[in-house]
Chain A
Amino acid sequence: MRILNYAGIALALAAPAALAAQDIAIKNATIATITNGDIQNGTIVIQKGKITAVGANVQIPAGMKTIDGTGKFVMPGIIDAHSHAALEGGINENSESVTPEVQVQLKNDDPVIYRALAGGVIAANQLHGSANTIGGQSRVIKFKWGMPVDSMYFKGAYRIVKFALGENVTRASSDAGIDDRRFPMSRMGVDFLLHYWFDKAKDYDKEWQDYRAEVKKNPNALMPRRDLRLEALVDILHGDLKVHAHSYRGDEILMLIRAADDEGFKINTFQHALEAYKVADEIKAHGATVSTFADMWAYKAEAWDAIPFNMALLTERGVLVSVNSDSDERIRRLYQEAGVGVRYGNMPVNEALKMITLNPAKQLGVDKWVGSLEVGKDGDIAIFNSHPFSPTAMVEYTIIEGKVYFDRNDAVTLRKSVANTGPGGAK
Chain B
Amino acid sequence: MARVSFLAIPLALAAAAAAGGQQVTPRASTPLPGAPDVDYALTNVRIVTAPGKVIERGTVVTHDGRIAAVGATVNIPANVVRLDLAGHTVYPGLIDAATSTGLPSPTRAPAAANADAAAGRGGGRGGRGAAPPGGGRASIPTAGRSSTPLPPVIEPEVDAAAEAADQFSPTDDELRAFRAGGVTTVGLVFNGGLFPGRVGAALTGARGGSRLGLKSSVGQEVFFGTKRNAYPSVGIGAVAFIRQAYLDAEYENRVDKALKAGNPAARPSNDPFRRALMPAAANEMASWFVASKERELTRVAEISKEMTIKAPVVVGAQEGWRSIPTLKAANATAVVSLEWPALDSVTGHNFLLYGVGRSGKLTPAEEAAGNSEIKANAAALVKAGVPVALASFGGTSGATFRERIKSSIDAGMSADDALRAVTVTPATILGISALVGTIDVGKLANFVVVSGNDLFATGNPIKHVFVEGRLY
Bound: A225/B271 CA distance, A: 14
Q: Which residues of A contact B147 (CB under 8 A)?
A: 176-177, 180
Q: Taking the nearest CB of chain B, how far is it from the CB of A149, in angstroms?
A: 5
Q: Count of A residues near B, CB < 8 Å?
A: 61
A10 to chain B, nearest CB (A): 10
Q: Are A8 and B355 in contact (CB under 8 A)?
A: yes
Q: Does B369 make an interface contact (CB < 8 A)?
A: yes
Stretch at the interface among A85-93, A184-192, A300-308, A378-386: A85-93
Contact code string A54-94 (vs B, CB < 8 Å = 1, else 0): 00000000000000000000000000000000001111111
Instruction: Determine whether the beta carbon of A417 is less than 8 Å from that of B240.
Output: no
List A residues 221-251 near B (Cβ within 8 Å). 222-229
**What separation, in Å, do the CA atoms of A90 and B141 have in the docked complex?**
9
The residue of chain B having its C-beta at the shortest distance from the C-beta of A224 within the complex is: B251
The secondary structure that dominates the A interface is loop
With known contacts A14-B373, A109-B351, A114-B354, A95–B140 Cβ distance under 8 A: no
Q: Which residue of B lies closest to A419 (CB)?
A: B359
Q: Which residues of B contact A338 (CB under 8 A)?
A: none
Which of the segments A20-28, A197-205, A272-280, A405-413 contacts the partner chain? A405-413
* 0/1 string, B303-336, CB within 8 A of A gives 1: 0000000000000000001111110000000000
Q: Cβ of A16: which chain B residues have Cβ within 8 Å of it? A: 322, 348
Choice from B302, B324, B358 contacting A150 with Cβ under 8 Å: B302
**Closest-CB distance, A90 to chain B (whole angstroms):** 3
Contact B240 A93 (CB under 8 A): yes
Tell me whether A414 is interfacial, beta carbon within 8 Å: yes
Give the CA-CA distance A102 to B243 in the complex, in Å.
Answer: 10
Q: In the complex, are the beta carbons of A95 and B232 less than 8 A apart? A: yes
Contact B359 A95 (CB under 8 A): no
Please, which residues of chain A bring their CB within 8 A of the CB of B240?
93, 99, 101-103, 136, 228
Q: Which residues of A contact B295 (CB under 8 A)?
A: 88, 105-108, 148-149
| Residue A13 is within 8 A (CB to CB) of chain B in the complex | yes
From the candidates A101, A179, A220, A411, name the one contacting B355 in the complex (CB within 8 A).
A411
Query: In the assembly, what is the distance between CA of A99 and CA of B238, in Å?
Result: 12
Say whether B350 faces chain A, with CB atoms less than 8 Å apart. yes
Chain B residues closer than 8 Å to A179, beta-carbon distance: 149
Known: A8-B355, A148-B294, A411-B355. A417 touches B360 (CB 8 A): yes
Neighbouring B residues of A107 by C-beta, 8 Å: 295
Docked CA distance A226–B370 (Å): 44
Does A95 contact B321, Cβ atoms closer than 8 Å? no
State whether the Cβ of B25 lies closer than 8 Å to any Cβ in chain A.
no
Q: A16-B322, A225-B247 are in contact. Are A105 and B236 (CB under 8 A)?
A: yes
Give the docked Cα–Cα distance between A403 and B357 (Å). Answer: 20
User: Would you call A12 and B352 a contact (CB within 8 A)?
Assistant: yes
Partner of B232, one of A11, A93, A145, A414: A93
How distant is B120 from chain A, measured CB to nearest CB, in Å?
A: 21
Whose C-beta in chain B lies nearest to the C-beta of A104? Answer: B236
Among A128, A412, A413, max chain B CB count under 10 A is at A413
A96 to B142: give the CA distance in the assembly, Å: 16
Is B457 in contact with chain A by the CB < 8 A criterion?
no
Quick one: CB contact mask for A130-163 with B, threshold 8 Å, 1 for yes? 0000001000000001101110000000000000
The listed residue with most B CB atoms (<10 A of its CB), out of A91, A414, A416, is A414
Contact across chains for B236 and A228 when beta carbons are under 8 A apart: no
Task: Annotate B230-242 by CB proximity to A: 1 below 8 A, 0 otherwise.
Answer: 1111111111100
**Is A420 engaged at the interface, CB distance under 8 Å to the other chain?**
yes
In the assembled complex, B55 has its CB within 8 A of some CB on chain A: no
Residues of B within 8 A of A108 (CB): 294-295, 347
Query: With a CB–CB cut-off of 8 A, which chain B residues contact A92?
Result: 234
Partner of B347, one of A95, A109, A229: A109
A5: Cβ under 8 A from any B Cβ = yes
| Nearest chain A residue, comparing its CB with the CB of B349 | A13
B142 touches A222 (CB 8 A): no
B28 proximal to A (CB < 8 A): no
Are B351's CB and A146's CB within 8 A?
yes
State whether the Cβ of A255 lies closer than 8 Å to any Cβ in chain B: no
- A259 at interface by CB-CB < 8 Å: no
Q: Does B131 contact A (CB under 8 A)?
A: no
- A111: interface (CB < 8 Å): yes
Do residues B234 and A90 form an inter-chain contact, with CB atoms below 8 A?
A: yes
Residues of B within 8 A of A416 (CB): 358-360
- A residues near B (Cβ < 8 Å) are 4-5, 8-9, 11-16, 88-96, 99, 101-109, 111, 114, 128, 136, 145-146, 148-150, 176-177, 179-180, 220, 222-229, 406-407, 410-414, 416-417, 420
Listed A/B pairs (17) with beta-carbon separation below 8 Å = A5-B355, A9-B356, A12-B373, A14-B348, A16-B348, A88-B142, A88-B295, A90-B234, A105-B239, A109-B348, A128-B236, A180-B149, A220-B261, A222-B266, A228-B244, A413-B359, A417-B358
